[in-house]
Structure 1
Amino acid sequence: MPSFQQLVSGALLALALPSHAAPQFSPGNSTVPSPPSSSAILFSVGANGPNAPVIFPLSNGFPNIVNNTPAYQALTVQAHGSISNAPPPASLALDDLRSFKVVELQETFEVYFYTQLLLNLTNNVPGFEISDPALKQDIINKLIVIQGQEQWHSLQAGGVLQHFNVSRIQPCQFKSPATDFTTAIQLAANFTGVVISTLQDVATRLGRNGDSAVVRGVVSVVGTEAAQQGVFRTLLGDLVPGELPFLTQSTREFAYSALQQNFVVPGTCPNDNTIDVPIFGTLNVLTKNIAAANQILTFSIERSSAQGLSLVFINQQNLPIVQAISNATTSNGVTTFQANFPFTSNNLNGLTIAAVTNSSGPFINANDVANKTLFGPGLIYPN
């Protein structure tokens, strides 16, 4: 019998075809976690059914899952567990409540993404077909659990807000650029890396603000997200499950900016105006298929000049790297420029976050960079 890795390799080879745009489906009607066949849609789908756009609430009521209801129990089975039933702390700093607003929206996007991906797989949308039935079912079964876990991650963050009489962040309309299975898995691996990096910042703020009682729950989510990312990287074939010995640091400002720039349909968030976190200008990484090697990268920003600006790379837990901007040209209000990507001397494996700052540093960490950022994040994944 072929090994799992052989099945994965065969499936991905079969997917090495021209990609096709995927219709926007919405998530399915049941919460049973182990479907008997890939033709059955057995996960929570959008309220309008499996052939409608993915909008909220889902068919199980998410994001409005009430404790001790059938939907709550079904989600517990689907996700292989539930949120904590331990009592919350007596208080939480306003700064930390701000973090949980970002986390709730981020995790709700993940619910959208995995719902969309499951529908594309179960409906055999062009580009999402997997020829081996056993492999397809195995992937679907795992994604159903992940979809359930992301519902709990969002509900946990929302529950913290609700407990302290802060309005939960309502779902937006989301979008995904993935048009085939391979690009969807690449995207999932990459944004999961950003989530993990962001939760470092959330945990650090909790400790600094005297809210250490909540750190344990946040770090438990980091572990789950990291396990998911390891599966995605393994599915891609040539990537090791753990991308780095110490995962890249980030901040909630970079995460929120990336979410709004790439995955939120503008103007569709009912109350994102209550999230008091800055959204940076977009930093476009124009160089594609970036290799794990020293090279010159090309970027663009909507600004009439690059004068007085620097490019900063954040990777692992190391000091941010400041690079001079060169060859800047401006046309129609867009400035295109280049900067050196010093891969070899800095071991820039895994996620590197790029930002354009109004300072040349030096910077001591990602928060220091975010405080001086005008455009970002540019997300670079050479391996």
Structure 2
Amino acid sequence: MYSSDRHQGDKDVVGNSPDWDNEHTYTKEEVPVDNTEVDREEITEVDGEETTEVGTVEATKEVMEEVIMEGVMEEMTEKMIGKTILDILLDTTHLTHTIQLIPPSPLVSSKGHPKHLRKSKIQRGAEGFKVEDQGQKAKLLANLKAILAQEELHAINANTLLENQGVGRIHPCKYKFPAENLNDAIALASKFTDLVLGTLQEVEENLAANDVALIRPVASVIGQEGEQNGYFRFYNDKVPSELPFLTTATREWAWSALNQNFIVPSSCTSSDINSIPYTSFPKLTVDYKELQQSLKPTDINFSFKIPAGSTLSDYGSQADNLSELKLGFINQQNTPVEGEIQGVEVEGTTVTFSALFDYKSGTFGNGLTIAVLVSTNTTTTDPRVVSGSTVFGPALIDIN
């Protein structure tokens, strides 16, 4: 992503038109080799959910076009994983650790060729993914292919940067993608891009200390991600430009969101995970459907599961009030806001509660809001301090 010699290839890959009538499916042995590595995935099922495992094959430019540009339509949200960690975790102190966090890109649907794209959910008109207007369908596929090709190049450059640091390429994990229809998949991609854009703000601050040469290329990625998100939002009938000032975030929240929502537990290589210096917090779930409909101050519901081997008392809290925990909301560039925890209920290992989301369209609540549970002694005036004191989260609330 950060080496300039990759940029010219971006146009080459995106600009060519694939041969949709090519029925041939390459085996690994048949693929011609020119030392250009691209990712290819295998789809499996884990607990009834479709997951992705990514490997690599050698390919010529022509095969690369087929694999990169055409393979990702099976699940649009797959694209969010491939570039996320390098984009959001790069900093001066942990440069190598940061790059190692990049999952091998699940940008390409395993089936990776025109024959298989025709069998993808969008192409075959699967329930929830059917696009009636053929012109709109063609435009959608063309736009998604361009986005995914760009993301694939981000991932290739990330692995190149790993090698330049003297570290081996990252090994594949398995992924799950919680989207049951096209609009939800696009919305999920948009929500996670919001989180990436928020975390890149922290990345730029870290680079300013000693790695100023990387600020310019990272800034170019920020703009590119913003262009992508504008398209995602426009597709779902939202204003393309979300806010004048986007919500800030941190690497820990982004890494936690990946683990909580996309990475299948225990599917990553242990040596990769053990070398990562970032915390993955337990999940905090939020239900804000009523808020989406009302767009006014509304009580929204949260829940979390007490981790195995723990009790609420381990967090200094009693079951009736979560007295030693408090809820923090981070929205736009505002000072974090505290939410009052109400109606705590415990059933087995599941804890539920509600809190007022004090929505005000002009000042608080539009765009991405990050909600986290933190210890009560946390000073909630700085998002970085809130991130460092997170106990459960992040829950991602996306309005407008």
Q: Same fold (TM over 0.5)?
A: yes
Q: Is the 8 A contact 2:252 2:387 kept in 1?
A: yes
Q: CA–CA distance in 1 between the matches of 2:68 and 2:258? A: 29
Query: Which residue number in structure 2 is paired with residue 218 of structure 1?
Result: 218
1:188-241 deviation line (CA, Å, top 9, x unaligned) = 111111111122222222223x1111121212111111111100110111x111
Give the whole-Å Cα distance in 2 for the aligned partners of 1:327 and 1:39. Answer: 59
Question: Cα distance 1:165–1:316, how it changes in 2: closer, same or farther (>3 A)?
Answer: same
Summarize the alignment of residues 193-208 of structure 1 with structure 2, pairs less than 5 Å apart.
Answer: 193-208=194-209
Is 2:17 the partner of 1:34? Answer: yes
Match of 2:297 among 294, 299, 306: 294
**Which structure's residues are more often strand, by fraction?**
2
CA RMSD of aligned residues (A): 3.5
Q: Which deviates the most, 310-319 or 359-368?
A: 359-368
Distance 2:21 2:191 in 1: 26
Q: How far apart are residue 312 of structure 1 and its match?
A: 0.4
- For the residues of structure 1 that align with 2:203 and 2:351, how far apart are their CA atoms? 33
Q: How many residues align?
A: 330
Shift of 1:243: 1.0
SS of the residue 2:289 aligns to: coil
How big is each residue's C-alpha offset from its partner over 1:279-331, in whole Å with a ceiling of 9 and x where there is no partner? 00110113435323211111112243322101000111111111221221222
Question: Is 1:355 equivalent to 2:372 in the alignment?
Answer: yes
Moved more, 123-132 or 188-197: 123-132
Matched, 1:336 2:352: yes
Per-residue deviation at 1:141?
Answer: 0.9
State the secondary structure of the residue aligned to 1:246. coil
> TM-score, normalised to structure 2's length?
0.73
Over 3 Å counting, the alpha-carbon distance change for 1:232 and 1:47 in structure 2 is: closer
Cα distance change of structure 1 residues 39 and 247 upon mapping to structure 2, 3 Å threshold: farther
Give the structure 1 partner of residue 236 of structure 2.
236
Shift of 1:160: 2.0
Residues 95 and 249 of structure 1, relative CA distance in 2, 3 Å threshold = same
CA distance in 2, matches of 1:315, 1:251: 13
Matches within 5 A, 1:56-135: 56-57=54-55, 61=57, 70=61, 74=65, 93-102=92-101, 104-105=102-103, 108-109=105-106, 119-135=120-136
- AA in 2 matched with 1:322: E
Q: Secondary structure at the match of 1:57?
A: strand
Which consecutive residues of structure 1, in runs of 5 or more, have no partner in the other structure?
Answer: 1-29, 80-91
CA distance in structure 1 between the aligned counterparts of 2:183 and 2:53, rounded to whole angstroms: 24
The alpha-carbon distance between structure 1 residues 47 and 96, as it changes in their structure 2 partners (threshold 3 A), is closer
SS in structure 1 of the partner of residue 328 of structure 2? strand
> Separation in 2 of the partners of 1:320 and 1:38?
54
Structure 1 residues 302 and 113, CA gap change in structure 2 (3 angstroms): farther
- Give distance in 1, aligned partners of 2:387 and 2:23: 45
Q: Please give the TM-score of this superposition, normalised by the length of structure 1.
A: 0.76
Kindly, what percent of the aligned residue pairs are identical?
32
Aligned residue in 1 for 2:146: 145
The worse-fitting range, judged by mean Cα deviation, of 156-165 and 179-188 is 156-165
**Contact 2:328/2:371 (<8 A) preserved:** yes
Paired with 1:48 and 1:261, the residues of 2 have a C-alpha distance of: 21
Q: CA–CA distance in 1 between the matches of 2:23 and 2:179?
A: 23
Residues 140, 350 of structure 1: CA spacing in aligned structure 2 closer, same or farther, 3 A cutoff? same
| Contact 1:35–1:41 under 8 Å retained in 2 | no
Q: Measure, in 2, the Cα distance between the counterparts of 1:277 and 1:36.
A: 43
Distance change >3 Å, CA 366–CA 143, structure 1 → 2: same
Partners of 2:18 and 2:212 lie apart in 1 by: 40
2:121 maps to amino acid:
N
- The letter for the 2-side match of 1:295 is T
